[in-house]
Structure formats: C-alpha cells, structure tokens
Amino acid sequence: METECPYCGMRFAGDDAEVRRQAHEPVCPRHPSDGPSLTDPARESPTATAAHIRAIFFNERELRAGWRFLIYVVLAVGCVVGLTLGAAWILGARRGGFNPLVTQTLEFTSFLGVLLPALVLGKFERRSLGDYGLPATKAFGRRFGEGLLFGLAAVTLLMLMMRGAHAFYFGHLGMHGARILKWAAFWGLFFLWVGLFEEFAFRGYALLTLASGMGFWPAAVLLSILFGAVHLGNPGEAWVGALSAGLIGMFLAFTFRRTGSLWWAVGFHQAFDWGETFLYSVPNSGLRTPGHLLNSHFQGPRWLTGGTVGPEGSVLVFLLILLLFVVFDRMYRTVRFPCSEAGATSPPALVENPSLLR
C-alpha cells in the first residue's frame, strides 16, 4: 500500500502507510494551519505569488529576452522617428524632391536611431557593441573587405545571368568625368549607412537578444520575415521582391553566425546595393534614384526582369541566393556566434539556454 501527504507530497509505503500518513499530517510544515497548501494555488503565499510574477519578466540573471527585444524596438522606433524628423526639420527637407545632403543625413540618423538604444541597454546588460555584432576593433577590417568583394561579385553575377537570358542590357555611359567619381562616392557612403542601419536593426541587438531566448534560427527566420515585410513599403516593390529580401536577410544572418560579427554582412549589403543603384543603374528593391552610371534597360517578361522591383524581383535572384548559401558554407565552416569583442570584460551569459545557439 502507498499513499502521500496532500500538503507536502511525502510518500508513505507499507502496510501501515495510512497510519503513518495520518500521524504526519498534523505536524506537516505545509499543513493549512501553519502555511499554504501546495495543492491549493488559491492559498499561495504572497511571496510565492511575487516569485511567479517575477519569473514572467526575469530569468535567473536578467530581464527575459522577449521583454528586452520589445523595449529595444520601442526605443529604436522612437529614436529613428525623432532623429530623422529633427534632421529633416533642421535641413528644411521637402517632400518629393531629391536632396543629396538630406538623403545622406537621414540615412545616417536612422543608423544612429537603432544604435543608441543598444548602447543604453548595453550599459544595463553589461555588454558592448562587440557583443551585439559590431566590434570596434574589427571595423572596416578583413571581414568587411571580404563582404564588399562578395557583394560586388554577387550583383555582377546576377546582372550577367540576366544579360545571358536577354532580360538586361548594359546600354552606355550616362555620365562622364568627375561626375562619375562624385556619384560613385555619394552612393558608396549612402549605402554604408544603409548597410549599418539595416544590419544592426535586423541582425544586431535584435537577433542576439531573441536568439538567447528562442534559438538562433527561429530568431533569424522571424527577423528575416520582418526585414522582407518592411520592403513592401518601397514604391515599386512587390511580394516577390519582399520574399527575396527576406531570403537575403536569412543569408546575412547566416554570415553573422559563421563570422561572429556583422562587418561581413555590412560590406556585402553596401556593395550589392551600390552595384544595383550606381554601377548597373537598375531599381533597388523598387526604388529608382538619380546618379546612374549607365543608361541600362530591361527587356522581357516581368518574372525574368523583376519589373519595377528590379533584379531582386527576378526569378534568377533565387538561384543566386542558393549559390551564396552553398559557397559561403564551404568557405566559412566554423560557427562563431555569439562573439564578444576582443579584450572586453566578459559579460554575463548571453543566452538563457546556450544549447539554443548551437
């Protein structure tokens, strides 16, 4: 025969189990006369209730990943909106016109808008920008250079595939002399801010924080869906372009996982967008801007040319993305995520469950 105390759960076995249980109950430390019963949630002590409420918001070390992510999103959106509106007001920006200074400034302030909240939260979390993917010691270093070469090679291969399919024609030069250098530098700087802004916003603090709670790949998928979705706000964008943007986002998250920092992804992002907008003079995620090197043009069905979306709306971009995954996987085999900045004081554990990042 076996029985147990209804208050503390102590088990009693043997022929006299019931007798010993009845003798134990009056002196049980969990008896209702001395304290709340474990089997009666309604009679739970205030201390236990507070502990349960705290567990909703905190793990054993810090605020849970989901809450940290939400706080970051609120702060980042507020900073981006506030800084860009402030900069636009100061510079007297007007709707519908293209102003080089305003264009550069607004993209730079957007990057600041996602960077500043991470710096503030990092003080509380005792983590540096290196922990969030942008180690200062590696800024514009070897990984960044490798990303630049990969990005330029990728967009060039895509345009060559489209040319081979008779969907794209390079045309002739649309500018000459010093204007070429001027616009090449302008778009190079602009897309550096774009790369820093978008990579840190979708694959910096947000990715590391969510990955610590739900695992790397679920976090990467979620943020890549958001990354693709925000592109639908671009004039000329379409669902196929948003899909390819989301898949490129997954690839860039993969590069973070293998290189341990965002600098490779920033270089790739900058070079790919620069190649589309300036070098090959085609729409970039549905956006057309002045300052093109070539008078290039498309010819053929929308599924092949990408239509108003540009090359990222072509079916050929999906072949390119697959090739990028395969080549990168062969060249960078070691998982380095997460990675702290060299020389920095080790922060507290970056993950609620370290196995989720493997």
Across-strand partners of 2? 13
Domain boundaries, the chain: 2-45, 138-357
Cα(76)–Cα(198) distance, rounded to whole angstroms?
A: 12
What's the gap between Cα 127 and its chain centre?
17
pLDDT average per 10 residues of sequence, the chain (358 residues): 75 70 70 51 63 84 93 98 95 82 96 98 93 94 98 98 97 95 98 98 97 95 97 93 97 97 98 98 93 96 96 97 98 83 42 49
What's the gap between Cα 17 and its chain centre?
59
Cα(92)–Cα(186) distance, rounded to whole angstroms?
A: 20
Cα(253)–Cα(203) distance, rounded to whole angstroms?
A: 6
Give pTM, 2 decimals: 0.83
Count of positions (residues) in the chain: 358
The pLDDT value recorded for residue 4 is 80
Amino acid occupying residue 279: L
Task: Give the tokens for residue 272.
Answer: 């790919």
The pLDDT value recorded for residue 177 is 94
